[in-house]
Structure 1
Amino acid sequence: MRKLSLAMKREERSFWVFIAPWFIGFICFTGGPILASLLLSFTEYNVISSPKFAGISNYSTLFGDRLFYKSLSVTLYYSVMAVPFTVVTSLIIATLLNNKIKGQSLLRTLYYAPSIISGVAVSFLWSWLLNPQFGVVNSVLYDWFGIQGPGWFTSPDTVVPSMVLMQLTASGSTMVIFLAALQSLPKDLYEAASLEGASAFVKFRKITVPLISPVILFNTIISMIGSLQIFTEAYVITKGGPDWNSYFYVYYLFDTAFKQFRMGYASAQAWILFLLIFALTLVSLWGSKKFVHYEYDSK
């Protein structure tokens, strides 16, 4: 085995010194709690008394819990609507902002800015905009078009679509990733397509979408993970209502852990969510093989 030179040893020590804060933080604040939650999922633990081993009773109880299936179905319903909406609208807006227009930088900043604001503040803003009595949206619909607006967050039929609509101010990061991908595309392909008489739509469908398909896949998976973890909107605006129609999975987990103090049961819920996200991510990666094209793919 070749011995390391003095400079290489010094570089190795520097590496471990610089990575130590992240490594310690990961163990203490991420890796440790993850392992602890796995162990607690096999116990009965109410924070006050010591954990008591309960085997797989938390998991067996969970699969017989009606609220588990209700919260899971509501979350999946939201995810099915929110993921395509977020990805498509972000891609459209990124495409528009990629064009050279006056005030381009300002428009990019204005669209991205809401995504860095607290989710609680954004939720309060939308609850005011979509208030059925005095909200701006319903006032505009009635005063300008004579249309009586829906109940939005107060109606079982519109509460989830209303929360999907909130993604308009939460998808700035997704838009920025798309924008970076669009700006890296080779211009000569578009020039050649223009010489062939291709329309803007054809160039978008035949050139843009295939070239940024890995980015589309990445944003789709990230949006899916985020949608399955929705919590703030329901906690601030609806408290899980009306009629349990916004009682999302993480909201149920929060109730179990911090209102009922059933930490073992909540840990089991968390691991079921992890396994669901992991499985859906694997399915997405497997199903994307025919549609995602990478630069290094063989011809």
Structure 2
Amino acid sequence: MLFIYSIVLGIVQGITEFLPVSSSGHLVLLHNILNFDFEQNLAFDTALHLGTGFALVLFFWNDIKKYVITFFKFISGSKSVVKSEIDFVFKLIVATIPAVVLGLLFETIIETKLRSEWVVVSTLIIVAVIFLLVEKYSKPKKGMEELTFFKAILIGVAQAFALIPGVSRSGITIVAGMSSKLKRSEAARFAFLLGIPVILGAGFYQIFKLDFSTLESTMIRIFVIGFLASFISGLLVIKFLMKYLTTHKLNVFAWYRIGLAIILILYFLMR
């Protein structure tokens, strides 16, 4: 049964990490609803997040390779560096800093105080309202080359709020990009590339903190199965969402979040 739960949670992670409905929020809730409790719940969630992190790497591999080469050309003093490309690299770097700093500063609070059902319900609704407001009032029209460093930092600050379960890292960074006048598809691309160092960094940081001597071989196999399930499902969802956002708004995800929050409130009150 644990292996089935691992696959289910891996698929849920792969879908909800990239759809703007909050992966961490769904995982917290599923652990409670299914009464699925590992001694290493947070470590298992880390394995699932690493799966989606590597899905991002594979999907955006050509972009990553291009920007890494550009960065090393720049630091080596090469004259062939394309200005728009190196600017984009540094925008990603400065936008990554807020989530890293705040994640390290508030790690204990996030892992203990904020991984609760009512926090998830609250953030599901609050962020849904933000989606609806941004879709109604923002006028996205700019390309990535017009994103300023200041606005890149603001998008990074928005990403830091996704450390709170229920917010949705992809969702909050996409609407932050749209608020900076980026086209929806461009905002999604920036959000996904921005998520790679944060997702992988947080995942490997948690791995280094694990006491592997306490993990049985069965538990390790469960982690691997969950990782693969989240990787495969995540890859499929990235491809879908990048195409979807070129012609569709975020409203459907906002109403999903509100509907889910209502269902969860009723469930928590009646159990």
So what's the TM-score if we normalise by structure 1? 0.30
The structure whose Rg is larger is 1
Higher RCO (C-alpha under 8 Å, 6+ residues apart)? 2
So what's the TM-score if we normalise by structure 2? 0.32
- Greater helix percent: which structure? 2
